[in-house]
Amino acid sequence: MALLNFLKPKNQLEEGGRTAAPVQRDDGEPEKNCPNCHKDIPLSRLWANDLVCPCGHHFRMKARQRIRMIADKGSFRELFSGVKSDNPLNFPGYKDKVETVRAASGETEAVVCGTAMIGKQKCCLFVMEPYFMMGSMGSAVGEKITLLFEYAVKYRLPVVGFTVSGGARMQEGLLSLMQMAKTSAAVKRHSDAGLLYIAVLTDPTTGGVTASFAMEADIILAEPNATVGFAGARVIEQTTKKALPDGFQKAEFVLEHGFVDSIAPRGGQKKLLAELLKMHDGRFCL
């Protein structure tokens, strides 16, 4: 399923930052090549514009950077940072892989959770980390998301979540699959408590995360051109032996078919989230 997203053509993965290293310009300023307009953009310019190219292309973003972009300054309080994956199946190579990724990403797991203020509106916030095994969901990710929804029920808070994921983490086998059921049950309790959940799908949101908490929000937003789907595009092509339609599994395609509420470019996300949170803060209930 999910994981099969990794089977996408290599050129679709390169913009992910795993391979797209910035190149040094003659005058010393590093640049990054945009996979959309193919121009070299100075990194400083990208950073100043929340990693959005002047052409509109949204580069992948680290979880902490996203939190800085979305949360009111200094308002983020991290929760459950001590929850980490073990190697429950003794899957060969998994332990080393996780250690390498931890060192490279500076994160302990593929999601960061906490509370924050967004435009002075208090909420629970989770942001998945594309640079940690492409946001794959193992037991620790499932546990942290579940704990966050349970926390949100306890303190009657809305949840805002940014998803990015290749799907369930196969190195934890069935236990990863079970996280889909566990997180869904936690979202349901939060929903039944009358609380708001807004998901923002970022590139890529696929597999087991699409088939669980990404698609279970009251309001589902997606970043422009983000890949959003269940099965990997190449697997579908191999299964059906047909060429895929243009823009297949892009956020705009998913919007057209009725599975997201709106496309939310990065520049306007904070304002939009703040407005939505404000309209649900309970003062206007009949």
Partner 1 sequence: MNTAAFERVKLARDSQRPTGLDYIRNIFDGFIELHGDRRFGDDPAIVGGIAMLGNLPVTVIAIEKGHTAKERSFCNFGAPNPEGYRKALRLMKQAEKFGRPVICFVDTSGAYCGVGAEKRGQGQAIAENLMEMSTLCVPIISVLIGEGGSGGALALAVADRVWMLQNSVYSVISPEGCASILWKNAAKAETAASCLKLTAEDAKSLGVIEKILSEKEIGKSEFYDRIRALLAKEIEELTEEPELVGNRYDRFRSIGRTAVVKE
Give, as ranges, the residues between 231 and 250 that touch partner 1 (CB under 8 A).
231-232, 235-236, 239-240, 242, 244-245, 248-249
For 192, counting Cβ atoms within 10 Å of its Cβ (0-12 exposed, 13-18 middle, 19+ buried), the class is: exposed
CB 31 within 8 A of CB 41: yes
Residue 98 makes contact with partner 1 by CB under 8 A:
no
Taking the C-alpha atoms of residue 171 and residue 89, their distance in angstroms, rounded to an integer, is: 7
Residue 101 makes contact with partner 1 by CB under 8 A:
no
User: First vs last Cα of the chain: how many Å apart?
Assistant: 43
Q: What's the closest the beta carbon of residue 159 comes to partner 1, in angstroms? A: 14
Give, as ranges, the residues between 172 and 211 that touch partner 1 (CB under 8 A).
172-182, 184-185, 187-189, 191-192, 206-208, 210-211
Residue among 4 and 264 whose Cβ is closer to partner 1: 4
How far, rounded to the nearest angstrom, does the alpha carbon of residue 63 sit from its chain's CA centroid?
8
CB 145 within 8 A of CB 113: yes
Cα-Cα-Cα-Cα torsion 145, 148, 154, 157, nearest 10 degrees, comes to: -110
Q: In sequence order, what are the beta bridge partners of 40? A: 33
Residue 213 makes contact with partner 1 by CB under 8 A:
yes
Of the candidates 30, 42, 259, 265, which one interacts with partner 1 according to CB under 8 A? 259
Residue 85 makes contact with partner 1 by CB under 8 A:
yes
Structure tokens at 30: 């590093």
Residue among 242 and 283 whose Cβ is closer to partner 1: 242
Of the candidates 11, 246, 258, 285, which one interacts with partner 1 according to CB under 8 A? 258
Determine the Cα angle at 17 with ends 13 and 23, to 5°.
120
Q: What's the closest the beta carbon of residue 126 comes to partner 1, in angstroms? A: 16
Task: Return residues touching partner 1 (CB under 8 A).
Answer: 1-4, 6-7, 82-86, 88-89, 91-93, 138-140, 143, 146, 168, 170, 172-182, 184-185, 187-189, 191-192, 206-208, 210-216, 229-232, 235-236, 239-240, 242, 244-245, 248-249, 257-259
